[in-house]
């Protein structure tokens, strides 16, 4: 493992790239189906980053211990019991607590974390240029407006 970010960044897939919007998907390195959706965008004069992921309940919890060597009928009965129990437990949580507990874990490998950091850094740097250009344009427009207003005022006072 070297300590340098890769390009293209392995473990991070680019989803959409526009002039002022970039989105990426980062899958969990453990191989589960969890992932992080990451957006970086520039609005008129600022850059923002958003991190989203789907959270899940502990629907996998074993209420009765399951051994995969057990006879088919026992194994499947236990799996069905655990599944129904977990679904009812979620309903019970919502009903009695008013909320359900969920969590989301996305594990990044060292290289993935490095690539993620570099992706944010370079996207932010790229958008920073856009923001600076927009700001400069804005300042120039304001200055031009001011100059034009001064000119009109001077012309008006001259004619009076």
Residues interacting with Zn ion, by CB under 5 A?
28, 30, 32, 34
Are 40 and 60 within 8 A, CB to CB?
Answer: no
Question: Which residue, judged by CB position, is nearest to Zn ion in the bound state?
Answer: 28
Asked if 127 and 42 touch (Cβ cutoff 8 Å), the reply is yes
Distance in Å, CB of 43 to Zn ion, minimum: 33
Choose between 57 and 93: whose C-beta lies nearer to Zn ion.
57
C-alpha to C-alpha distance for 116 and 11, rounded to whole angstroms: 9
CB of 12 to Zn ion, least distance (A): 15
**Closer residue to Zn ion (CB): 55 or 76:** 55
How many whole angstroms separate alpha carbon 86 and alpha carbon 89? 5
Min CB(32)–Zn ion separation in Å: 3
| Cβ distance to Zn ion smaller for residue 70 or 103 | 103
CB atoms within 10 A of CB 108: 18
Q: Which is nearer to Zn ion, 5 or 27 (CB)?
A: 27
User: Three-state SS for 43?
Assistant: coil
Least distance from Zn ion to the Cβ atom of residue 103, Å: 12
Distance CA 46, CA 58 (A): 38
């Amino acid at each position: 493992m070297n300590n340098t970010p890769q390009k293209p960044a392995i473990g991070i897939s680019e989803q959409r790239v526009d002039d002022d919007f970039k989105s990426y998907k980062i899958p969990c390195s453990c191989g589960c189906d969890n992932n992080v959706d990451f957006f970086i965008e520039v609005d008129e004069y600022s850059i923002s980053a958003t991190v989203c992921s789907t959270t899940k309940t502990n629907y996998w919890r074993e209420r009765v211990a399951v051994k995969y060597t057990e006879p088919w009928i026992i194994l499947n009965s236990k799996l069905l019991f655990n599944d129904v129990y977990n679904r009812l437990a979620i309903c019970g949580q919502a009903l009695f607590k008013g909320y359900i507990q969920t969590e989301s874990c996305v594990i990044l490998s060292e290289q993935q974390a490095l690539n993620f950091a570099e992706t944010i850094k370079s996207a932010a740097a790229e958008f920073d240029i856009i923001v600076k250009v927009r700001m400069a344009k804005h300042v120039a427009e304001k200055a031009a407006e001011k100059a034009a207003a001064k000119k009109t005022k001077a012309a008006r006072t001259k004619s009076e």
